[in-house]
Amino acid sequence: MKLKETFLLMTIGILVAACGSSKDAASGSDTRYKRKPIVETSDERLKEEAMLIDAKMLQETGQNDESEKRYRQILSIDPACHAAQYELSHLLAMKGMTDSAIVYARWAMEGDKENVWYAIFLANLYRHTNQHEANIRTWETIVQRNPDKLDYYYELSNAHLANNNFKEAISALNRVEKMIGITEEVSLQKAKLWSRSGNEAKALQEIEALANTMPQESRYSSILAESYMSAGKYDKAKMYYDRVLEANPDDEYVHISLAEYYKATQQPRKAYEELRIAMGQTNLSTANKLQILTKFYTSEEFYGIHSSYAYDLLEVAMRGSDDSTSYAAFYGDVLMRQHKYDAAKRQFLLALQADSSKYEVWEALLVSELSSDSDTSVMADHARRAARLFPLHQLPYYVLAIVEHDKGDYAEALKLAMRCEQMGFDKGYLEPETYSLIAECYNRMDDSRCYGYYDKYLALRPNDMVVLNSYAYRLALDKKELDKAEHMSLRTIQAEPENPYYLDTYAWILHQAGKDREALKYIEKSMKHRDSISDEIKEHWKEIKASLGE
């Protein structure tokens, strides 16, 4: 006989003992099937046992239909064979015939009250078919028959919970608590159930009892503090946070929680101080610090009302991670917002070393370079590379135009700036800057087409004194529209009455209009700044005086 068959027969030996009336079963055993004392067996009983062995072997070898026939035959001979009822219930459940399966499982449970497995199987059938009340009754029966089994109380609680009987589910857990005392598992589950039933006060009481029972475990105080925070009871939350802090003064998460407390109670300075302690901890990774920081402050707070706190915290968080490409773009953006352009450039370059496919990082780098004393050739290299990668974006061409303008190649600068204009302006981005640059290039080339672009620029930014002065001086040089030039220039000296260059422009316009006496007054005022004026202003002074015969 094969080993598997030998083992199967041993199992069947236990199984067949479960046939017959329940009063024949041995008591005190917790096995699935009950073994009877060895007694003389009738021929009929031997035949029945043989049939049961045959049925089980068919079941084990996957011949379920034949197995089912054998079990039904057994039950036709001995309706009190509870093992056959139990196994037949299994087979019927596998076929989806749950109603019939429940009937046989119930017979097995009622016939053999000592066999808890029959009852558990019946309870599972009720649970899978959402017969909650029957499931609860079955678990109540199991608990009554096995009052010392803790797991069965948990199952009873779950059965009540599935039926939304929160108080009854808690009551089952209370019975566990009476047996083993207050434990985290039971207390937290009860708190959860009280909370789900809408009784937050009871939920907090459960956690408070746990924390007071085990004061040496600060994590319970943490749980309680968080619960009071969620309930808006900030004074009690602070009391438990202080208890945790006293036990673990170097725990970064306590300081983060305290920061949340101070934020909730409108104390932003103290919130910042607690977060600063947490950001300085080496136990937290830079990634965790930045995640905490960006969740703590909203975008409006981070970049607006609490930016001084947020930027300082970011700097603390980034210490020791300056070469990290993972956060470089974000850090660079914050540095740029603080006008720390040189530091921002380094971060953007780090970010691009890791991933050059993000145009917004290239744009931020170019803006930082335009806003600081950057090496022109390096900036041009960056702009050319960005233009190759993103040919449909304007800023790289604009930067190249600026570079060519500063080199004195106004024709090339004009060509690049005109390309920006031809690409169109999305929501006005770079529109005034491009018009100003085109106007300046035409101006430098003594081309009157600069007038139209100055007008376009001033239509967008009418109070730009530098452009007003440049436009007015160009008109004066060309001796055109002097009234317009005079009006624009007057605005500049009204805005900055001591600016020697604005005073010179106004004086020269007056001179071109034949108002030399008035022009002399303004050119002499400009000449008071001898250390900062140009040779051109000196020549204007001489010419105006000469025209007056002085």
* Distance from C-alpha of 501 to C-alpha of 523, rounded to nearest angstrom: 9
Q: Minimum mean pLDDT among 12-21, 88-97, 184-193: which range?
A: 12-21
Confidence check: pLDDT of 94 > 70 = yes
pLDDT digits (tens, 9 = 90+) for 280-289: 988 888 888 8
What confidence score (pLDDT) does residue 356 get?
94
- Phi/psi region, residue 409 (left: phi>0; alpha: psi -120 to 50; beta: rest), is beta
Q: Which residues contact 262 (CB under 8 A, 6 or more apart)?
A: 268, 270, 271, 274
pLDDT digits (tens, 9 = 90+) for 389-428: 999 999 999 999 999 999 999 999 999 999 999 999 988 9
Rg (CA), the chain: 44
pTM of the model: 0.60
What confidence score (pLDDT) does residue 110 get?
93
pLDDT digits (tens, 9 = 90+) for 108-165: 999 999 999 999 999 999 999 999 999 999 999 999 999 999 999 999 999 999 999 9
Average pLDDT score, the chain: 88
Most confident of 7-11, 247-251, 484-488: 484-488
CATH of the domain spanning 481-550, picked from 3.40.190.10, 1.10.1040.10, 1.25.40.10, 3.30.300.30: 1.25.40.10
pLDDT digits (tens, 9 = 90+) for 361-371: 999 999 999 99
pLDDT digits (tens, 9 = 90+) for 460-497: 999 999 999 999 999 999 999 999 999 999 999 999 99
Dihedral of the CA atoms 59, 64, 70, 75 (nearest 10)? 90
Share of the chain above pLDDT 90, in %: 66
With cut-offs at 50, 70 and 90, classify the pLDDT of residue 188.
confident
* Distance from C-alpha of 367 to C-alpha of 5, rounded to nearest angstrom: 82
* Residue ranges of domains in the chain: 481-550
pLDDT digits (tens, 9 = 90+) for 200-234: 888 888 888 888 888 777 888 888 888 889 888 89
Stronger pLDDT, 276 or 30, i.e. the higher one? 276
The predicted model gives 39-61 an average pLDDT of 79
Are 137 and 57 spatial neighbours (Cβ–Cβ below 8 Å)? no
pLDDT digits (tens, 9 = 90+) for 254-267: 999 999 999 999 99
Confidence check: pLDDT of 498 > 60 = yes
Q: Which helix (H) or strand (E) holds 472?
A: helix 465-478
